[in-house]
Structure 1
Amino acid sequence: MEHEPEFEKTRKNTHKRNKLMHLLISFTQPLQSFFKTIWKGASYGALFMTMLLIFSIGFDFHTGLGQIMDVILFLLIAVVSTLLTVKIGTWFIEHFKRLPSLLIASIGVSLAITIYTLDQFRQLENILPLSYLLIAVGIILGAMFGYPLSKGIKKPMSMIMLLFGVLATSAFSYWLFTPGLMNDRLSINVEPLSPVSDNPSEYGSFDVTTYTYGSGKDKQRPEFGEQVDIQTMSVNASSMIGEWSKEREWFWGFKDTNVPLNGRVWVPKGKGSFPLVLIVHGNHKMEDFSDEGYNYLGELLASRGFLTVSVDENFFNSSWSGGLAGDINGRAWLLLKHIEEMEKLSSQKDNPLFNKVNMDQIALIGHSRGGQAAILAAKFNDLDRYPNNGNMTFDFHYNIESVIALAPTDYQTLSDRKIEVDDVNYLLLQGSYDSDLSEFEGDRQYNGIDLTGRKEAMKAALYIDRANHGQFNTTWGENDTYFPFTLLLNKEPLLKGTEQRQIARTYVAGFLEATLHQNESYQPMFEDYRYALEWLPDTTYISKYEDPSYHIYSTFEEDVDVTTATSPYITIEANSLLQWYEGELEFRRDKERGTHGVFLKWDHSYSKNGTFKLNFKKALQDPFAYTMNSSLTFTAANLSDPSDQQPVDFTITASSDNGASASVKLSDVMQLQGVLPIQHTKTKYFEEGRYGEPTEPVLQTFNIPMQRFLEANNAFNPKKMNALTFEFNASEKGKVFIDQIGVNQGGLTKKGLPS
């Protein structure tokens, strides 16, 4: 057989490759033509998305020049800066391009500006995916509209592209501007208990007069400027806060060395002095004044006999000129300076507050950072020197009876130590849909309140499903972040603003009635929220409570031995559980919560006999001994899977040394609520990075009267109790966290209320 010459084989192979190349080119020419047509539209789409982002910020950005000037300024910034940056970017990549340079520059500049803008506002921690999404949407929409504009609208492909462009734009706009989606919620019926007092959210018997006090020189607000009713002095706050910028000085017209004392006052008409209540806002845009957002509380409280002040601290808030370092300390200190000023005004005959203030009864209410400032003010009030600078002396020592915190922060310490206060009445309100403070930080504050028993005091917390951060303040409203980032929030599940403020009205007024007016008929609503349900909107509530009649013998803070309790006379055992361990309860994003307890998990497919048992080696002694009128108390949180919203149930069995035992099913006293899945944003894609887990464990206080055990078995003797067993036989599966096991010597039954 003759072999084919080598050069002939090479010639044939080359011919085949050329034919294949020509064939590929013929197939790809329409595609190349298509991309050449749409790239300009895609380029301008990316640029338009970037300009739109910058321009939209101008609608909620206050320079002090007025809203029209702000919008015009940001329009100029959006157009000029974006186009200028694109031109610069185009010049740099001209020699390296293969794709059209405008497209490369548009994408690069849009990404850089978008990432920088989102990072400055720190609204979402995972900003890169959001940046990529915005630019991708701009490119796609621009390409869809760019093709028909370049090729002519009558071509079939142009009509298809235009149709898809309109549909995609409509879908994206709908997604942005709709409130979001409602989370599935298992409807769990909780029967209200009969109220034992009148509705505290209703107006009282006092007519109300309003005043403002301030420097009389306020540059931004006439009510604290030339129209002020009572003129006050300014104070030097420079040692309490960080650097006061020139921009801040320009906006307000004063420095940190002469900060004004401004306040809105609601005064009950009538003779005699009235308890003093100060309300302080938190961090918001300083140009969007926050102090008037609590008018609804001021009017209500004054009508019920509390002289109420909404304190102005807007000049400590964040702004386009930056924030202030150490502002919590400044806010707390200024709050005490307002008390000092009210004491002076009440002693001066030439003003309408003369003899109106009862300085022996003072309460502080704070929202957000103001909530932390309120408890810090109570701490500063007891000190003679400033912990961060011992050269600065304090001389306050007022009788601050109560502190109320609305969705408070809890990130600041004193000399690296947690803020702790003894024997102050404390109320905490927090919403599950708080998209600003998504962790229940106030729970750490609650744990830092120590009730020593030296005087009567109580602390209570109410966790409110579907309440957000801002609606406690009418100025802040439903937006827990700034525009346009608020468009990403899932606001559909939220309570109405009037509903959320109805809860605040009820609990704030009721708490002050109980602690300042000493009206004990309001105390039960804090120990058991069901006494207030008739006055509250329909949602899920979880409450926690403690007073000096609570004596805890197992806090789980003592050691790592799961068989020991706080009392050396108690041993612990557990049987047939999937999990049994002690540890710290965490927030949604693994932050420390400051409380340890026991984690218990069971599944009847593994065993139906799971138990957790406390054995008393000797009879409990006073004040830990149970009596006929005392109650078993403990706190518990449902840690079950988020997909299972059913309440978890179990049985508690008490045994006495005469061999008798009695059992009470938890749900017969109060339900342990199911888990509450939360979705803060409209897409779960951003949830985990910004907000962490889809649920957050919240502790509920349970009180089971000894009378319930006696009804189950009258041979049982509470005074001779020798064992307490949690039997997980009522729910097929579940996981719970249990803490603070002890005895409640007061209890609702002792107050003559139904058990």
Structure 2
Amino acid sequence: MKGIWKKLNRGAFNGGRLAWLAGFLALFFLDEFPGFYFQTKIPHAAADVALWGIYFCALLGILALIKKFASAILTPAATELILLGLLIYEVSDVLRTTSSLGPSSDTYIYGATAVVVAIIWLFALGMGARKLYPMATVLGGLLMAGLVFVCAWPGPKTRPDVAQGEKTIPATYKVEKITYGPKSAYDYGEENYASYLRLPKGQDRWRKLFFGYTPAHVPYEGDLYLPVGAKNAPLLVFVHGNHNMIEDNKGGYEYLGRYLAARGVAFQSVEQSHFNAYFGKGLSGENDARALSLLDHADKILNDPRFKDRIDRDRVFLGGHSRGGEAAAVAASFAELPYNPDTGRATKDIKVAGVLAVAPTDGQYKPGDRPVDLNVPYFLVTGAWDQDVSSLEGMDQYLRAGAWRGQLFVDYANHSQFNSNWGRLDREGLAALALATGNILDKADQERFLEVAAYAFIKDRELFNDLKAYAPQSGFALATQPKSRVLADFEEDADLTTATNAAPDIKGATTYQEGAFIPSDRGGTNHVARLIGTYALNVDGGEDGAFALDVAAKSGRADIKITLIDAAGEAVHFTPKKDALHAAHETGLLKWQYAAKKWEYKRALETVRFTKSAMAKENPTFNIKDLSRVEITVGGLTEIDNIRIESD
């Protein structure tokens, strides 16, 4: 046994297992320089192999130096332990970057790290001692083949196939695409955003080399899609989020621009890659610059006399994806103020008609150190399979929208596929190998959701009443709230006996609590009531309009019944079809969850609406304007919010 160990030690430096361990370690070092993963300038395979070769040769050089000058101190066994320690660190670091995506724990991270490192070590041992242990070589090879398969495997597809909607919105215009930028017919010059951001040390030179300019000299670049022949078309000014700076980020929304322009909506895709990340490091503190740049781009188009009769200045919508979605909300808040609250500079005079946010971040920038409150219509689109902004934090901005608001929660939609150039993966590098992507919607289906939702928000909000007929049939939850008299939104205090504009009666409830609505098993600032049984509100009169509330089941689908009683004692009853309501969405964003059968439940509030016509059909003598009492009865644990009478 002692002789075998000596032979193993002798073989460790001579092309044995230490070299194999170094090769795997070099693979993990690729994540320290992630700029090659999402880019189009250099072929992915060539870039990765070249970078891996640099790291591997460097590690082999270090091993050679150890063998020649330090072998008395760093024996092969000690060197092997160091390499294994580095591998443990790198593997656990990769796993930790994905731990926020599911019901993870230190036990999972330590266990998965141990398994991966053990397989790598056994493989290296078998390959480095093929003559001594041929069976170890076979075992190591089989285990490594299994690990490679798991890494390459997208995860199971458990969702049903997706059928298309029964109806389509017809295209009525030809589309004209105009690209503006330096040395074009539409050259709007440049702006200086250097004072609005912090640039990592040394990146100014790299950005100058790639873009040809720095944050102090940013030219206006973008694409404009116009409906040919249309007069005074509404305009959606849209911007991408934080992705690799050397990707074509603005071009990923051409599908949306062409769809909208063909249906009478002008679309402007803004280039902001100069605010994005590279070399594993991004700018910081730049979210206000993203918002200001969005307004600057809109201002250039609106004041170009060549577009005077083609774009309606009173119907300018701002929109964005990811950080761009937050930037759109910030920009809309800036447009309502005469001066920037943080700099004192005058803001652009733009009348914003609404904000469309797609899988947005929230709270990364706060004007005047305050959350962004909006007084313009706001529509949120987000996906249950978002493996980037997985906490669905756009729902917090939705709560702070004071005008008409809506949110669309799409089953199986992820983050990146709303941009056609970003691919199917929401994480880059080795972390992407842990993602379960088998259930994610096909790109065309995910894009169709955004196309239809954007059109409905800007041109025809009545379509939201029949959205299922136009959207892919993958499942979704939709909440819309026009101008309303809110009876209870559970935001006022912690007292269960008070409500916004009514007197609660909770005697019929077997369970009644108030607390935060948590859409993704974490996060969320909206407050709701959790109910089993009957919750009642005594109301001192109503007003003319539909009755509505938002609901979400803790598991399965909500089972709800609504009774309205007026001052004369006349009543109407409404029981939404249970099968038509959205079920809490069981997600497994990481591959290991399918083996452990440990899920996370993504949920969104959806609107249940009792229309005036439905009330009149059931009881013509009932008068919603004399509403006296509301009774809401649910079977299983259900969260309710925004109990209201809609006047619009």
TM over 0.5: yes
User: Which residue, out of 460, 472, 493, partners 1:537?
Assistant: 472
User: 2:181–2:222: 8 Å Cα contact kept in structure 1?
Assistant: yes
Amino acid at match of 2:429: F
User: Which residue, out of 298, 317, 321, partners 1:339?
Assistant: 298
TM-score (norm 1): 0.76
Is 1:698 aligned with 2:604? yes
2:534 aligns with 611
Distance (whole Å) between structure 1 residues aligned to residue 29 and residue 569 of structure 2: 75
- Structure 1 residues 264 and 63: CA distance shift in structure 2, 3 A: closer
1:266 Cα deviation from its structure 2 partner: 1.8
Is 1:418 aligned with 2:371? yes
2:529 match: secondary structure: strand
- Percent identity, aligned pairs only, is 24
- Structure 1 residues 703 and 355: CA distance shift in structure 2, 3 A: closer
Amino acid at match of 1:639: K
Amino acid at match of 1:359: R
Matches for 1:339-488 after TM superposition, within 5 Å: 339-345=298-304, 347=305, 353=307, 355-390=309-344, 392-394=345-347, 396-412=348-364, 413-422=366-375, 424-451=376-403, 458-488=404-434
1:558 aligns with 492
1:742 match: secondary structure: strand
1:53 aligns with 28
User: Which residue, out of 128, 133, 158, partners 1:146?
Assistant: 128
1:724 aligns with 630
Distance (whole Å) between structure 1 residues aligned to residue 570 and residue 313 of structure 2: 55
Distance (whole Å) between structure 1 residues aligned to residue 177 and residue 341 of structure 2: 37
User: 2:378–2:406: 8 Å Cα contact kept in structure 1?
Assistant: yes
1:599 aligns with 530
User: 1:90–1:101: 8 Å Cα contact kept in structure 2?
Assistant: no
User: 2:386–2:413: 8 Å Cα contact kept in structure 1?
Assistant: yes
Matches for 1:504-543 after TM superposition, within 5 Å: 504-514=450-460, 523-526=461-464, 528=465, 531-543=466-478
Structure 2 unaligned blocks of 5 or more = 101-105
2:564 aligns with 654
Distance (whole Å) between structure 1 residues aligned to residue 57 and residue 286 of structure 2: 36
Higher relative contact order (CA 8 A, sep 6+): 2
User: 1:45–1:140: 8 Å Cα contact kept in structure 2?
Assistant: no
Distance (whole Å) between structure 1 residues aligned to residue 568 and residue 270 of structure 2: 61
Distance (whole Å) between structure 2 residues aligned to residue 184 and residue 210 of structure 1: 37
Distance (whole Å) between structure 2 residues aligned to residue 323 and residue 59 of structure 1: 15
Distance (whole Å) between structure 2 residues aligned to residue 439 and residue 664 of structure 1: 33
1:418 Cα deviation from its structure 2 partner: 0.8
Amino acid at match of 2:122: I
Is 1:105 aligned with 2:51? no
Distance (whole Å) between structure 1 residues aligned to residue 163 and residue 608 of structure 2: 15
Amino acid at match of 1:78: Y
Distance (whole Å) between structure 1 residues aligned to residue 493 and residue 94 of structure 2: 48
Is 1:211 aligned with 2:167? no
2:368 match: secondary structure: coil
Distance (whole Å) between structure 2 residues aligned to residue 596 and residue 92 of structure 1: 65
Matches for 1:62-73 after TM superposition, within 5 Å: 70-71=47-48, 73=50
Matches for 1:569-608 after TM superposition, within 5 Å: 569-575=502-508, 577=510, 579-588=511-520, 590-591=522-523, 593-601=524-532
2:151 aligns with 176
Distance (whole Å) between structure 1 residues aligned to residue 9 and residue 315 of structure 2: 77
1:260 Cα deviation from its structure 2 partner: 0.7
Distance (whole Å) between structure 2 residues aligned to residue 368 and residue 81 of structure 1: 38
- Structure 1 residues 30 and 615: CA distance shift in structure 2, 3 A: farther
Q: Matched residue pairs, number?
A: 633
1:470 Cα deviation from its structure 2 partner: 0.8
Could you tell which deviates more after superposition, 490-499 or 696-705? 696-705
User: 1:58–1:73: 8 Å Cα contact kept in structure 2?
Assistant: no
Is 1:498 aligned with 2:444? yes
1:82 aligns with 59
Distance (whole Å) between structure 2 residues aligned to residue 317 and residue 300 of structure 1: 27
- Structure 1 residues 265 and 727: CA distance shift in structure 2, 3 A: closer
User: Which residue, out of 187, 192, 200, partners 1:231?
Assistant: 187
Deviations 1:209-234 (A, max 9, x none): 22211123xxxxxxxxxxx3422201
Deviations 1:152-196 (A, max 9, x none): xxxxx62x33432332222112111111123478x9x9999xx9x
Distance (whole Å) between structure 1 residues aligned to residue 488 and residue 163 of structure 2: 29
1:595 Cα deviation from its structure 2 partner: 1.8
Larger Rg: 1
Deviations 1:543-574 (A, max 9, x none): 110111x211111122221112112x523223
1:472 Cα deviation from its structure 2 partner: 0.8
1:471 Cα deviation from its structure 2 partner: 0.8
User: 1:211–1:229: 8 Å Cα contact kept in structure 2?
Assistant: no
1:371 Cα deviation from its structure 2 partner: 0.6
1:696 Cα deviation from its structure 2 partner: 2.8
- Structure 1 residues 440 and 105: CA distance shift in structure 2, 3 A: closer
Amino acid at match of 2:451: R
1:590 match: secondary structure: coil
Amino acid at match of 1:554: A
- Structure 1 residues 570 and 123: CA distance shift in structure 2, 3 A: closer
2:279 match: secondary structure: coil
Amino acid at match of 1:571: P
1:648 match: secondary structure: coil
1:225 aligns with none
Structure 1 unaligned blocks of 5 or more = 1-27, 152-156, 217-227, 452-457, 515-522, 602-609, 747-755
1:231 match: secondary structure: coil
Is 1:262 aligned with 2:168? no
Deviations 1:423-455 (A, max 9, x none): x2222110100000111211111111112xxxx
User: 2:554–2:637: 8 Å Cα contact kept in structure 1?
Assistant: yes
- Structure 1 residues 92 and 368: CA distance shift in structure 2, 3 A: farther
